[in-house]
Amino acid sequence: MLPAELERALAVAPAAREPFLGRLAAMERDGQLLTNRKGELCVVAKLDLVVGRVQGHPDGFGFLVPEEGGDDYFLNAREMHKVLHGDRAVVRMSGVDRRGRPEGEIVEVLTRANVEVVGRLHEERGTYFIVAENRRINQDFLVPPGGTGNATVGQIVVAEILEQPAHNREPVARVKEVLGSATDPGIEIEIALRKHALPFEFSKEAVRQAKRLPTEVRPADRKDRVDLTALPLVTIDGENAKDFDDAVYCERKGRNFRLIVAIADVAHYVRDGDAIDHDARERGTSVYFPRRVIPMLPEELSNELCSLKGNVDRLCMACDMEVTPLGAIRSYRFYPAVMHSHARLTYNQVWTWLSAPATAKSAEAKALLPHLVNLYELYHAFAAAREKRGAIDFDTVELTIEFDEHGKITRIVPDPRNDAHKLIEECMLAANVCTAEFLSSNRHPVLYRVHERPPPDKLAALREFLATSALHLGGGEQPTAADYAKLLDSVRERADFQLLQQVLLRSLSQAQYRPDNEGHFGLAYEAYTHFTSPIRRYPDLLVHRSVKAVLAGKQYHPSGMTWQQLGVHTSMTERRADEAARDVTNWLKCHFMQDKVGEDFDGTISGVTSFGLFVTLDGLNIDGLVHITELGRDYFHFDAGRHALIGERSGRTFQLAERLRVKVARVDLEQTKIDFTLAEDTPSASAPERRPVFVEPLSRDSRPPKGKARR
C-alpha cells in the first residue's frame, strides 16, 4: 500500500499524522517495512527478504549475517561493491553457491555503519585515493580535488565518507585528520582505535558526572552493608595492574573452607541509563593494548573509587561460600559490604611465599601467609573437583612484550603461569557459578556466559583427523567436556601433543553472552555467568544489578535494550576489543621483524591452508606465511581432514604442529604480513626419494578446488 492509503485505512487523525509517518520511517530503519520502486510499503517478512549485518572478507566477497539467526548469505564481490563491512542491509536469496550456501542479492541498505574510514593515502596518475586499514573493507575511497587537506602520500589519515558505495559508484571520502607516518610511535594504536570504531573519548556528560563523584567511601554509603574491614582480604594481580576488581579471603570452618570473594561495587556508583552507564555500554569492555589501556569506566572509577586498592575502604558485593574438602560448594550467600584490602599482592610474590614459606620475612607477609595457605589448600580441592567434573584444561603460554623508551619491541618473553594464577582463577570461577545458580533459581533474567557444544561440521572434521592418529573421541554425537579432557590427558605425553591440542581447541565454539542459559561446555558447568570484573566488563555490571534486584525483592530491566540485544552487543564489543588488540600486537611484531629479513628461525606450523603454511616462531609467538610456491617443485594438495599439505610426487607432508626452520623473506608493515621461506637445512620436497613412497590417495572431498593447488 501507499503510505497515504495506509493512513486512510487506519483513519489516522490529522494531529497524529506526523508521529504516524515517524513510526513508518522507524519501521523501515528497523527492516520491518520496505518501500518498493512504486513507492508502496511492503512487509519485509512477506517478501522473503532477510535483514542482517554485512561481514566483509579481505578477498572481496562477504556474508550477510541474519539478525533472526539461521544460515549466512554469501555475497559475491559484485554485491559487496554496494556496501561496506558492518552495514545493515536487506537481501533476497538469489541462488545457492557450489558449497550449498544460500547466495544473497542486496535489495536495500538500511543503515550505514561507517561514516569515517582510517587508511593510507595513495596517489596514482594524479588521482588520490585511500586504502582502508580495515581489510574487511575492500573498496578504495576516491578523494575529490582539494580533499587531501594537509596529508601527504603515504600518511595514515582519518577521512569523512562523503558518498557511500553503490553498484556503479566508488565511495568518496575527504581527509579530516592526519594521524601521522606509518612508523610513528603509538600510530598502531591510533589506527586500531579508528579502524575498529572503538570509543576512546568519554562524553562531556560522563566526564562531568565522574568529576562529581566522591574520592572516598562516605558514611551514607556504608548504610545497610556488612562490615568486612577487619577481615584480611587481599588482591592478587599482575605487576602492572591498576584496576583491582576482586579481593579474596579464606579460612577454615571445621573440615570445610569459608571463601569470600569481594567484587568492586560499581553498580552503586554507575546507575542504569546515566551518562557513565551510556558510555560503558557503548564500550562494552576495557581494551588492553601494549603500553595503553582504553578503560570502560572513567579513571576516577576504574583506578580510584571502585578499584580495591590496598589499605583503603571500598564498597563491594561479597559472595560468601562454604566449600567442602572435595571442592563442592555447600552453601553461598550474596550481600553488599564494605571492605579494606590489607595488601596489594602479585602472583609471583604469592607463589614465592607459598612455594618457599621461609621467604615470607616481613611482618605483613607472616600475618598473611596462613590465609594464603588456606587459599592454596582450597585451590587443590577446586582443582580436584574440576578434574572430576571433566572441564577441559588446555596448556597455553602467555607472552609479554617488552619495549624500549622509543616504543620499539626489545624482547618477547613468556609470561609463565604459576599456581597463584590458578588459585585466583578457581576462586573467580566459584563466584561466577554461584551467581549463575542464584539468578537462575530466582528466575531473574541475566546474561549468561554461554559456550555451546562443538558444531556437527567441526566435530566430523575432528573425528576424521583423530582417526589418522588411531585416536577416538568418546561421547558419540554428543561428546562432553569430560570426553575432551580424557582424550587430552591421554595424549599429553605424546610427541604430537601440541598438534592434537590445537586441533581439539579449533573444534570448539566461541563463547558468547546470551540471556538463554545453554551452559558452558568447556568449563563443564550447567550455568555460568560473569560477576567478577564489573570495572572492565559491562555484562558483569549488568549481573551485579540483577543480584542487587533479587536481594531487594525486585526485578532489574535494562533501559534501551532487551537482554537479547545486550547479549549480541556485548559479544560484539568483546570481539571488537580482541581484534583491535590483535591488530596492534601484529603491527608491533612486524615492526620488530623488519631488521630480521634474511635470518633463520625455528618454528611450528600453526595453520595449514590451500595456499600455504602459517608458522609460529619459537619464543616470539610471531606468525608468518610460507607460500605453497616455496615448498618445492611439486604439486601440493590440501587435506583439510589431516590439516596437511601433501606433495603429489614426493609424498612430502607438511602437517599442523610440525617443526620447521624458516628464513624471513619479507616484512610488509602496511599489510602486517610476514613471508617466510624454508631454510636451507629443511628437507626439500623436491629432493628425490631413495625408496618408493606410498602416498595416501586424497578423497574427493579433500581435493582442493581447481586453481588452488599450484607449484
Quote the CA–CA distance of 513 and 694 in Å, as a whole number. Answer: 49
User: Quick one: pLDDT at residue 690?
Assistant: 35
C-alpha to C-alpha distances, 230 to 223, 341, 342, 436, 676, nearest whole angstrom: 17, 9, 9, 29, 59
Quote the CA–CA distance of 209 and 164 in Å, as a whole number. Answer: 37
222 or 704, higher pLDDT = 222
Q: pLDDT per residue over 38-52, tens digit each?
A: 788 888 766 678 888
Nearest CA to 660 among 637, 688, 638, 679?
679
Q: pLDDT per residue over 471-522, tens digit each?
A: 889 888 889 999 999 999 888 888 778 778 888 888 898 999 999 999 999 9
Question: Which residues make Cβ contacts (< 8 Å) with residue 121, sequence separation at least 6?
Answer: 128, 129, 130, 143, 148, 151, 152, 153, 154, 155, 157, 175
Cβ neighbours around 599 below 10 Å, total: 11
Quote the CA–CA distance of 126 and 407 in Å, as a whole number. Answer: 36
Quote the cell numbers at residue 280: 560503558
615: left (phi over 0), alpha (psi -120 to 50) or beta: beta
Task: Record the pTM.
Answer: 0.81
Name all domains of the chain by residue range, CATH numbers in brackets: 3-111 (2.40.50.140), 117-181 (2.40.50.700), 204-450+515-582 (no CATH), 456-508 (no CATH), 597-678 (2.40.50.140)
Per residue in 278-289, is it b (16+ CB within 10 Å) or e — as a string? bbbbbbbbbbeb
Q: pLDDT per residue over 511-540, tens digit each?
A: 999 999 999 999 999 999 999 999 999 999
Residue 112 has pLDDT above 80, yes or no: yes
Quote the CA–CA distance of 711 and 707 in Å, as a whole number. Answer: 11
**Is 128 in contact with 108 (CB distance < 8 Å)?**
no
Q: Where are the beta strands (DSSP E) in 487-599?
A: 512-514
Helix (H, G, I), strand (E, B) or coil at 608: strand
3-class secondary structure per residue, 372-421: HHHHHHHHHHHHHHHHHHCCCCCCCCEEEEEECCCCCEEEEEEECCCHHH
Helix (H, G, I), strand (E, B) or coil at 246: strand
pLDDT bucket at 699, cuts 50 / 70 / 90 = very low
Q: Do you know the residue count of the chain?
A: 711
Question: What kind and span of H or E run contains 251?
Answer: strand 246-253
User: Quick one: pLDDT at residue 568?
Assistant: 92
pLDDT bucket at 187, cuts 50 / 70 / 90 = confident
Residue 698 has pLDDT above 60, yes or no: no
Mean pLDDT of 311-332: 96
Quote the CA–CA distance of 669 and 688 in Å, as a whole number. Answer: 38
Cβ neighbours around 296 below 10 Å, total: 31
Quote the CA–CA distance of 444 and 555 in Å, as a whole number. Answer: 7
Q: pLDDT per residue over 437-470, tens digit each?
A: 999 999 999 999 999 999 888 888 888 888 877 8
C-alpha to C-alpha distances, 239 to 286, 290, 344, nearest whole angstrom: 18, 14, 10
Quote the CA–CA distance of 429 and 535 in Å, as a whole number. Answer: 17
Residue 619 has pLDDT above 90, yes or no: no
User: Quick one: pLDDT at residue 47?
Assistant: 67
User: Quick one: pLDDT at residue 677?
Assistant: 95
Say what percent of the chain tops pLDDT 90.
61
Cβ neighbours around 450 below 10 Å, total: 22
Helix (H, G, I), strand (E, B) or coil at 504: helix
- Letter for the amino acid at 117? V
Cβ neighbours around 550 below 10 Å, total: 18
Quote the CA–CA distance of 55 and 72 in Å, as a whole number. Answer: 10
Mean pLDDT of 617-634: 90
Residue 697 has pLDDT above 50, yes or no: no
Nearest CA to 458 among 529, 507, 495?
507
Question: What kind and span of H or E run contains 208?
Answer: helix 204-211
**CA angle at residue 681 from 677 to 685, to 5 degrees?**
65
Nearest CA to 272 among 538, 529, 537?
538
Quote the CA–CA distance of 140 and 126 in Å, as a whole number. Answer: 15
Residue 113 has pLDDT above 60, yes or no: yes
Average pLDDT, the chain: 89
Helix (H, G, I), strand (E, B) or coil at 467: helix
Residue 695 has pLDDT above 70, yes or no: no
Say what percent of the chain tops pLDDT 70.
95
**CA angle at residue 148 from 147 to 153, to 5 degrees?**
150
Quote the CA–CA distance of 357 and 365 in Å, as a whole number. Answer: 9
Quote the cell numbers at residue 142: 576516491
**What phi and psi values does residue 472 have, to the nearest 5 degrees?**
-140, 135
**Is 262 in contact with 233 (CB distance < 8 Å)?**
yes
C-alpha to C-alpha distances, 495 to 213, 461, 492, 498, 500, nearest whole angstrom: 57, 22, 8, 8, 10
Question: What kind and span of H or E run contains 20?
Answer: helix 17-29
Quote the CA–CA distance of 214 and 304 in Å, as a whole number. Answer: 10
User: Quick one: pLDDT at residue 706?
Assistant: 34
User: Quick one: pLDDT at residue 519?
Assistant: 93
User: Quick one: pLDDT at residue 682?
Assistant: 58
Residue 12 has pLDDT above 50, yes or no: yes
Question: What kind and span of H or E run contains 278?
Answer: helix 275-283
Quote the CA–CA distance of 273 and 508 in Å, as a whole number. Answer: 36
Helix (H, G, I), strand (E, B) or coil at 123: strand
Helix (H, G, I), strand (E, B) or coil at 72: coil
Helix (H, G, I), strand (E, B) or coil at 213: coil
